[in-house]
Structure 1
Amino acid sequence: MKKHIKHHGITVAVVLGVLAIGAGAFVYSGVYNIGADDHHTKPVFALLQTLRERSIQARSADLKVPDLNDPQLILKGAGQYAAMCTQCHLTPAMKDSELRPGLYPQPPNLSQVRVDPKEAFWVIKHGIKMSAMPAWGASHDDPTIWSMVAFLQKLPDMTAAQYKDIVAKAPPDDDMDMDGGDGGHSHTHGDAAQAMPAMAMPDEHSHADAHDHDQGAKGPAAEAPISLEGLRAGAAPGAEAVARRFHEALQRGDREAVLAVLAPDVSIREGSETQTRDAYAGGHLDADIAFLKQAKVTSGAFGSMAMGDTAMVGSETTIAGTAKGKPLTVRSREMLTLRQHDGAWQITAVQWQSAPVEGDSR
């Protein structure tokens, strides 16, 4: 029995040795054509494809996905995509590129297919060996890569005109302009008479934070100012109409109308606090209505941007009223994110920021 097992062991070793020698001879002979224009056989291609897909899935499964509906994240990603990705992955206006036909395997046309966010992040960051996909993580940080992932979720729904519009508004490879200066308003005023105001009940914490920041006090990192850069009046008329209904309902104190335009999963951020729809309905909504009923609202910048089935509408207002028995004038900015479903727009995110106007002597 032992002799029989030993004999089989020797046979296996010899076979493996012959296979190794044969494989080495095959590799060193140069007989295999490594050229990209000579494609793999179907079995080899299927093996490599399965290896690639399983490797990506295994390594991306535990990634935590941020909020990919953040308009500023999507806008930044548009610029990144335009700068780095179009020659391989195309745009809604491109059928092909000079580079793409010579690539093997052929990169997916990302203007036509929707990718899994976790897998897309991993591939963009780490690249794929023996392909034309580079590891962008060597030169770009994670937030920038997530911005590209956010944009990719919207790209398949964009027309060529929408793609061109959003890319024109996004810096190609720089951080977004978040300084909130007047330069960001040059395209947003449009018909100021029709622009409804951004509504935000003054938040004591946000005012205190702003004061501390001015005095150089140390504390939690300040929230980036809402930027209206790239928004244009009339760019997303359906979304703008819903935004106006939201503003009008707040001003006249119509709770049902306010809640009707808020999606069930809406996120509402006022100052340093983020609330759900139910939490807002049970708390700050009444305070906002009460403040606005006795306030004078002056409209400022108002504009929108369409991104497939998503749009963002931003506005700025000056609100003069009374808080806790004292006169108060605040400048408020609002950014609404809206999603279209079955032809109807709903608000999925609300961000409000307000700060007291210097020199208010009322």
Structure 2
Amino acid sequence: MKQHIKHHSITVAVVLGVLAIGAGAFVYSGIYNIGADDHHTKPVFAVMQTLRERSIHVRSEDLTVPDLNDPQLILKGAGQYAAMCTQCHLKPGMKDSELRPGLYPQPPNLSQTRVDPKDAFWIIKHGIKMSAMPAWGGSHDDPTIWSMVAFLQKLPAMTPEQYKDMVAKAPPDEDMDMGDEGGHSHGGAADEDAHGAADMKDMVMSGEAGHSHGAAPEDSHDHASTTAPAAETPLSLDGMKPKAAPEAEAVAQAFHTALQHGDRTAVLALLAPDVTISEGGHTQTRDDYANGHLGEDIAFLKSARITPVSLGSMPMGDTAMVGSESDIQAMVKGKPTMLRSRELLNLKKDGKDWKIVSIQWQSAPVSGE
């Protein structure tokens, strides 16, 4: 028995040795064509595809996905995508590029393909070996990569016109503008996706942050305080165009009207169940708002005089942003005060209706107050 086992072990070792020598000879001979225009056999391709998909999924499944409906995140991602991705992954209305036909494996057409957010983040950050997909994590931080992922969630639903409009309004990115050293540039004058001036370009708040509606003077919920404890990131309404998304604008106006008329039922009917409401550096859920600040806003607006300044929107497939600016004349802590308020709504189409999925409010005293 022992002699049989010994003989079997020697046989296995010899076979493995022969296979190793054969594999080495095959590799060194150059018989295998490494050219991208000589495709893998179907079995080899299937094995490599499974290996790639499982490797990505195992490494991405524990990632924490941020809010991909953030309008500013989506807008930033549009500029990143236009600068880095279209030659391989195309864009709405683009059928092919000079580079794409020579790539193997063929990159997915992301203007027609929905991607898993976690997998997309991992691929963009780490790249894929033996392909044309680079690891952008070496030159871009995680928030920037998530902005691209956020944009990819909207891209398949966009028309060519919507895509061009959004890219034109995307914020400039210092990392992408490398001047004479080469690289990508969002702002080239000859680029069809160059960033243009927006209709509401200079609408960026400065000074103290707060709620556009203010609060009753004796209330501790002081949205419109002239001495806010800390300034938020200025709320930009950059890129909004009047009547660009008329249905979404109509919902925004209905929301404003319901608040001013004190119609709680109508206000809440326009809010999505998972809506987030940000004001003064704090974020509330729908229930939080319904049980507290909604009543305070209604009470404040009954005695306030509101003068609309501007209203614009930006369509993004089945979502849209609506930005507005108003002057509010009201009593704040017993003192007549003029406030310049800004509101940014993010809406999503739910069947035939539009629902508000996020609200951002800021206000500050008008200069001279």
Deviation at 1:205, TM superposition (A): 7.3
Deviation at residue 348 of structure 1 after TM alignment: 0.4
> Structure 1 residue 187: deviation in Å?
6.4
Counterpart of 1:24, as a letter, is: G
Contact 2:90 2:96 in 1 (8 A): yes
Aligned-residue offset at 1:327? 2.7
> Which position in structure 1 is the counterpart of 2:37?
37
Q: Aligned to 1:355, which of 333, 339, 364? A: 364
Q: Say which of 197, 200, 211 aligns to 2:213.
A: 200
Q: What CA distance in whole angstroms lies between the structure 2 residues aligned with 1:335 and 1:172?
A: 20
Q: Could you tell me how far apart the structure 2 residues matched to 1:204 and 1:33 are?
A: 71
Residue 205 and residue 285 in structure 1: after superposition, are their counterparts in 2 closer, same or farther (change >3 A)?
closer
Q: Could you tell me how far apart the structure 2 residues matched to 1:169 and 1:186 are?
A: 10
How many angstroms does 1:184 deviate by?
Answer: 6.2
1:251-306 per-position Cα deviation (integer Å, ceiling 9, x unaligned): 11111111111111111111122111111011000110111110111211221100
The aligned runs of 1:1-362 (5 Å cut-off) are: 1-171=1-171, 173-174=173-174, 186=200, 199-202=212-215, 204=222, 207=225, 210=228, 222-360=231-369
1:83–1:173: 8 Å Cα contact kept in structure 2? no
CA distance in 1, matches of 2:265, 2:69: 25
Superposition deviation, residue 53 in structure 1: 0.2
Q: CA deviation at 1:325?
A: 3.3
CA distance in 2, matches of 1:154, 1:291: 37
List runs of 5+ in structure 2 lacking aligned partners. 177-196, 204-210, 216-220
Q: 1:322, CA displacement in angstroms? A: 1.6
Helix, strand or coil at the partner of 1:304: strand
Q: CA deviation at 1:4?
A: 1.6
- SS of residue matched to 2:314: strand
Q: How many pairs are equivalent? A: 337
TM superposition shift of 1:174: 4.2
Which amino acid is 2:92 matched to? P
Distance in 2 between the 1:230 and 1:278 partners?
A: 31
Per-residue Cα deviation, 1:305-325 (whole angstroms, up to 9, x for no partner): 000001000111121112343
Q: Distance in 1 between matches of 2:126 and 2:227?
A: 39
Contact 1:299 1:318 in 2 (8 A): yes
Classify 1:207/1:337 alpha carbon distance in 2 versus 1 (closer, same or farther; 3 Å): same
Contact conserved, 2:338 with 2:366, CA < 8 A, in 1? Answer: yes
- Normalising by structure 1, we get a TM-score of 0.88
Aligned to 1:193: none
Q: 1:174 to 1:236 in 2, by over 3 A?
A: farther
Distance, in Å, in 2 between the alignment partners of 1:75 and 1:63 is 22
SS state at 2:129 partner = coil
Q: 1:174 to 1:259 in 2, by over 3 A?
A: farther
In structure 2, the CA distance between the partners of 1:5 and 1:208, relative to structure 1 (3 Å rule), is farther
Is the CA contact 1:76–1:148 (under 8 Å) kept in the aligned structure 2?
yes
- Supply the AA of the counterpart residue of 1:268: I
The answer to whether the 8 A contact 2:126-2:137 is kept is yes
RMSD: 2.1
- Higher mean Cα deviation, 159-168 or 3-12? 3-12
What corresponds to 2:206 in structure 1? none
Offset of residue 209 of structure 1: 6.9
Amino acid at match of 1:62: D
- C-alpha displacement of 1:208: 7.1
Q: Offset of 1:326 from its aligned partner?
A: 3.3
- Residues 63-100 of structure 1: CA distance to partner in whole angstroms, max 9, x if unpaired? 00000000000000000000000010001111111111
Unpaired runs of 5+ residues, structure 1, are 177-182, 190-197, 214-221
1:172 deviates by: 5.4
Equivalent pair of 2:245/2:315 in contact (CA under 8 Å): yes
1:207 Cα deviation after fit: 4.3
Take 1:60 and 1:317, find their aligned partners in 2: how far apart are those partners? 44
Query: Is the contact between residue 200 and residue 270 of structure 1 (CA under 8 Å) also seen in structure 2?
Result: no
Structure-2 separation of matches of 1:265 and 1:186: 29
Work out the CA distance in 2 between the residues paired with 1:205 and 1:40.
63
Contact 1:184/1:227 (8 A) holds in 2: no
